[in-house]
Amino acid sequence: MERQSSRAHDAAARALATPGATRRDQLAQRLDAAAQAGWLYYALGKTQGEIARKLEVSRQTAQRLVSLSLSEGLIKVRLDHPIGRCLNLARAIAARFDLGRVRVVPGDADDGRATSLAVAQATAAEMERCLSDDAPQCIAFGTGRALKAAAAQLCPLDASRHRIVSLAGNIASDGSASCYDVIFGVAERTGARCFPLPLPLLAASAQARRELRAQPMVEGALALGASADVAFVGIGQLDADAPLVRDGFVAREEIDALTQAGAVGEIIGWAFDRNGRLLDGLTNDRVASVELPALRRCEVIGVAAGAAKVPAIHAALCGRLVNGLITDEPTAEALLCLAVGLPPNSAGSR
């Protein structure tokens, strides 16, 4: 019986060589094999040799299947034990900026991809904390790479009692939509009812912004976002490589005008200076997102990491635009240095 079971699983592991199977079937079978290999390795503690024997494949194939289980998100590995140094940095930032919730994850200056994954996993854990609450809540989300990566790390759960809403529109000036929307991925994994914001991030003019926001359906979505119990937002820098520029929402000339006016960062399109004050005029006259002051009543968790974002994160904390933060160890060190007037590299070796 054991032998027959192993042979059945081996058929999935050899999916790419299965005669007559369509490409989609082959991929599905290979993912099934990868999921089993990942479960055996990470959950049951089996060695790659034991997995190879169990699935009746070569050791090299077993190794590839285990790697595939991680790269395809079939198996998620999270660190639940708080590392002492990261915990101390989180406490120091919370005390310095009077924040309610701070999470600092280990960072690797030589591996930005691994660090981004760690931030995404920590953010997903916080999202799951909110989505697992028994009391119905309205949970709001900005857009962007960091939050999209976090949504991809969510474990499936039943959050049908909650509502999730977008804080910002996802349409660029040329009519294209960014692929970094968040709420649909969250809704897919949780069953929560979602409310997108059917607006461009920036309207063509201040008058167009007023007219768009006056539409009944849009008014309802904006009011829902402004009444959120908790919000997750990215914090973006304003430079030539800013997400707003890369995604086609703002022209480089507009970024230049913003920085000349003193802007250092943005949250859901709203530009602010180094003290966390929203700028008057310029692109802020055309932002169609939920207004940031309306979010001050709720828990607003900023998600951002990286040297380029340090001034923007620091400004957002100083201006109380967010009251929670998820970041990585090098960014946390740089924030504390900036807070006391030291160069970012003065934190010392980790």
pTM check: above 0.85: no
One-letter amino acid at 186 equals: V
Percentage above 70 pLDDT, the chain? 87
Q: What is the residue extent of each domain of the chain? A: 2-71, 84-347
For position 37, what pLDDT does the model report? 86
Query: Would you say 302 and 322 are in contact if contact means Cβ atoms under 8 Å apart?
Result: yes
The tens digit of pLDDT for each residue in 148-193 reads: 999 998 888 999 999 999 999 888 777 777 778 899 999 999 999 9
User: What is the average per-residue pLDDT within 288-310?
Assistant: 89
For position 82, what pLDDT does the model report? 57
Task: Return the higher-pLDDT residue of 173 and 12.
Answer: 173
Pick from 241, 247, 240: nearest CA to 268? 247
Query: Would you say 181 and 198 are in contact if contact means Cβ atoms under 8 Å apart?
Result: no
Query: Would you say 271 and 279 are in contact if contact means Cβ atoms under 8 Å apart?
Result: yes
Query: Would you say 205 and 211 are in contact if contact means Cβ atoms under 8 Å apart?
Result: no
Query: Would you say 212 and 288 are in contact if contact means Cβ atoms under 8 Å apart?
Result: yes
For position 231, what pLDDT does the model report? 95
For 309, list phi and psi in degrees, rounded to 5.
Answer: -95, -5
The tens digit of pLDDT for each residue in 220-236 reads: 999 999 999 999 999 99
Strand partners, 101: 324
pLDDT at residue 23 tops 80: no
* Strand, helix or coil for residue 235: coil
Residue 16 — pLDDT band, cuts 50, 70, 90?
very low
Which DSSP state fits 107? -
User: What is the average per-residue pLDDT within 68-83?
Assistant: 69
Tokens of 147: 């939050």
For position 77, what pLDDT does the model report? 64
Per mean pLDDT, which range of 72-86, 139-153, 257-271 is the poorest? 72-86
Task: Return the higher-pLDDT residue of 6 and 81.
Answer: 81
For position 350, what pLDDT does the model report? 37
What length is written for the chain? 350
Class of domain 84-347: alpha beta
What distance lies between CA 65 and its chain's CA centroid? 27
What sign for the dihedral angle of Cα 86, 74, 301, 345? positive
Cα 319–320–323 angle (5° rounding)? Answer: 150
